[in-house]
Copies of this chain bind each other. A is one copy, B any other.
Amino acid sequence: MDIIRPTLLLDKEVCLQNIARMAQKTKAKGLIFRPHFKTHQSAGIGNWFRDYGVTAITVSSVSMAQYFAQNGWDDITIAFPVNIYEVDAINALAKNIRLNLLIENLESVQMLTHKISQEVGVFIEIDTGHNRTGIAPNKFHGINAMLDVIKANQKFQFKGFLSHTGHTYQAQSKQDIYNRHFDALLKMRALKNYYLKDFPDLILSLGDTPSAALCENFNGIDELRPGNFVFFDLMQYKLGACNFNDIALRLVCPVISRHGSRSEVIIYGGAAHISKDSIINLDGKSLYGQVVINKNGKKTLLDERNYLYKLSQEHGVIRTTLQEFHNFAVGDLVEIIPAHSCLTANLMGEYLTTEGEWIPMMSKDFHRSASSPVPE
């Protein structure tokens, strides 16, 4: 296990604990656990979920659905509004697996109804306040118009309402997360009560990691789709959605330079490895990662005055305090706890586990290399 360049180190035990905890929580609450695999994008890590009874998954693109279908998953929700250009791949997939699609506007479902050739499940996406995609829960006219198209085509099976309460990521406190989650819960339950007489099997699906990790009240909800919890990160830690020791990912980087006049340490590890996603540090500046170093033979997390604060394509610049500066040497390996693990994983393309195993992710050139998008 020789680390010689920026390497994404995955603590397998922590990761398995994260999976186990969420699996137990959803089971105890009688919820379908349909984890979002966009965070890890890896068939190998996906397999770890099977031991915890997971048989159904969520992905964020048709490409990811193809990749995981080829790796043995046969019940997949694409939790991203349907992109009509990919209907051929959707039909090919739906021929072989149980596939659920997401609809949030009339135009898409009207285009889709003419092109769909296989049975697919359909969720309507509800915007419970995140204001990204989804229809507002009080727009009955719009919801009914979509439902009319869905009902008129026997290929469509209406599954229910799905929401991503993503505005919990911008919460200022735990109470804020509880409030936003409860607000979403009430909106979704009102919809269920209203439509249950027409669709007695409809389900409600929620997804964000902060509320999935923190909240206890899921009354009326049928399914949870958290993704980030598999690794967690600094953003989740700051939100209170995890303990620091639950963060399973670290980017190990060689120190290549020190500049005492600026109290800066430069690592091999930049925007091409960590991504430019950041959280706001105590000093109001962007923090791309916190830093763990070896101090007197012991791994030590440095406080937020020592942080990754500037990135070029390959360079990362750590600002340090005067005291800590002297604990860095050229040739050291330091560990960066990323602000946002999803985008770091997406860039790195593979994991090295604490057991010394290399685990690949879905490749960026998946489409080029996949001779056939259809799992047989």
Chain A interface (Cβ < 8 Å from any Cβ of B): 2-5, 38, 60-63, 80-86, 89, 104-105, 107-108, 111, 131-133, 166, 254, 256-259, 262, 266, 268, 271-272, 275-278, 310, 312-315, 317, 329-331, 333, 342-343, 346-350, 358, 360, 363-365, 368
Contact = CB atoms under 8 A, between A and B. Distances in A.
A259 B61 CA distance: 21
Nearest to A312: B132
Given A133-B256, A254-B83, A5 B61 contact: yes
Contact of A271 (B63, B131, B132, B277): B277
A330 B105 contact: yes
A62 to B, nearest CB: 7
A256 B61 contact: no
Q: How many copies does the complex hold?
A: 2
Nearest to A258: B105
B257 A81 contact: yes
Contacts of A278: 276
Contact of A276 (B61, B329, B343, B358): B343
Contacts of A262: 131
Contact of A331 (B84, B257, B342): B84
A314 B268 CA distance: 27
Contact of A364 (B83, B348, B358): B348
Contacts of A364: 347-350, 363-364
Given A257-B105, A271-B277, A330-B108, A132 B317 contact: yes
